[in-house]
Amino acid sequence: MTIDLDDLRFYRGIHALEPEEDLPAIFELAVPRFLGMCEKLGLKSTLFSIAEDLRWPEAVSSLRSAAASGHEIASHSSTHRYELSRRSADFMKAETAGSRHALEDATGSAVTGFRGPGYNLSDGLLAALKDAGYEYDSSVLASPAYWAARAAVIGWMRLTGRKSSSITGRGRDFCRGRLPFVWPARLGGLREFPITSGGLGWMPLIGTTLAAGGAMSRHIARCANRLPFVNVEFHALDFMDIDIDRLDPRLRVEPALRIPLADRTSAFETALQSLADGRRPALLRDLSAINPLEPGFR
């Protein structure tokens, strides 16, 4: 199980809303709720964290205490630029090696994994990750349905004269053969842990699709249940609520925020209990250290 700690400012950028006061709300509100759910279910998670958020003391103490309770800290880059995969080698180095060192220094925990902003990858970015000493990547989201939906939103915004900070990305990265069904996979010399997708259009196993509960999330969870390896992805936003947390109502454009927090959390717990049933939950860093060719590995 993984969570990307994307601050609200990135969603405002995606939907071309003007910036708001810079507050560590996700670390004060979302992360404690998420960790509370993990504790209730007896699960540990990988927290993909953005290094520039370490400027907030609340972020440092939140990540340190998560690491002390057995969760994993991994990198979600230094500044979460959606176009990171297209930038120069020097920029990529600052975002990969730089974030790794900053997160390790601040949390005292080894950082061996990376997830790219917006699931965007390139050969250059994979090479930068390898040079920076990462052992695994978990950026692949093999979901043509997700890619098509994102491209449609960005295209519509462009037509209506608004510019999203997100990018469409390369469609082929979201149609990577049957990678999600073959584990372990390697990509660019690193162990790759794709985010699980399944069912019609390869719907992604993420907070947004699980939040609604009902037939679609049951279908995705049922398809995922047949796979030998399952990698669920949440976002900090999945644990925020427009009314309870007094967020800008315009953020309701994010589908998960249209559902009350209590209903979402209950849908997450039901899905996670079913996915964890009969499995051995593990942190990505521990899985990346295992040699799958060893006898007895399954």
Binding residues vs Zn ion (CB under 5 A)? 4, 6, 117
Minimum CB distance to Zn ion, residue 224 (Å): 21
Nearer to Zn ion, 49 or 107 (CB): 49
**Spatial separation of the C-alpha atoms in residues 245 and 247, rounded to whole Å:** 6
The first and second tokens of residue 182, run together, are: 């073959």
Which has the closest alpha carbon to 297: 289, 232, 223? 289
Nearer to Zn ion, 5 or 37 (CB): 5
Which has the closest alpha carbon to 46: 57, 56, 35? 35
**Burial class for 56, CB neighbours closer than 10 Å (0-12, 13-18, 19+):** middle
Nearer to Zn ion, 117 or 204 (CB): 117
**Spatial separation of the C-alpha atoms in residues 219 and 155, rounded to whole Å:** 29
Minimum CB distance to Zn ion, residue 247 (Å): 18
Closest residue to Zn ion, Cβ-based?
A: 6
Minimum CB distance to Zn ion, residue 79 (Å): 11
Token pair 């399944």: residue: 198
Nearer to Zn ion, 195 or 210 (CB): 195
Minimum CB distance to Zn ion, residue 114 (Å): 12
Minimum CB distance to Zn ion, residue 252 (Å): 20
Nearer to Zn ion, 4 or 238 (CB): 4
The first and second tokens of residue 2, run together, are: 């993984």
Nearer to Zn ion, 8 or 221 (CB): 8
Minimum CB distance to Zn ion, residue 264 (Å): 18
Minimum CB distance to Zn ion, residue 255 (Å): 16
Nearer to Zn ion, 117 or 198 (CB): 117
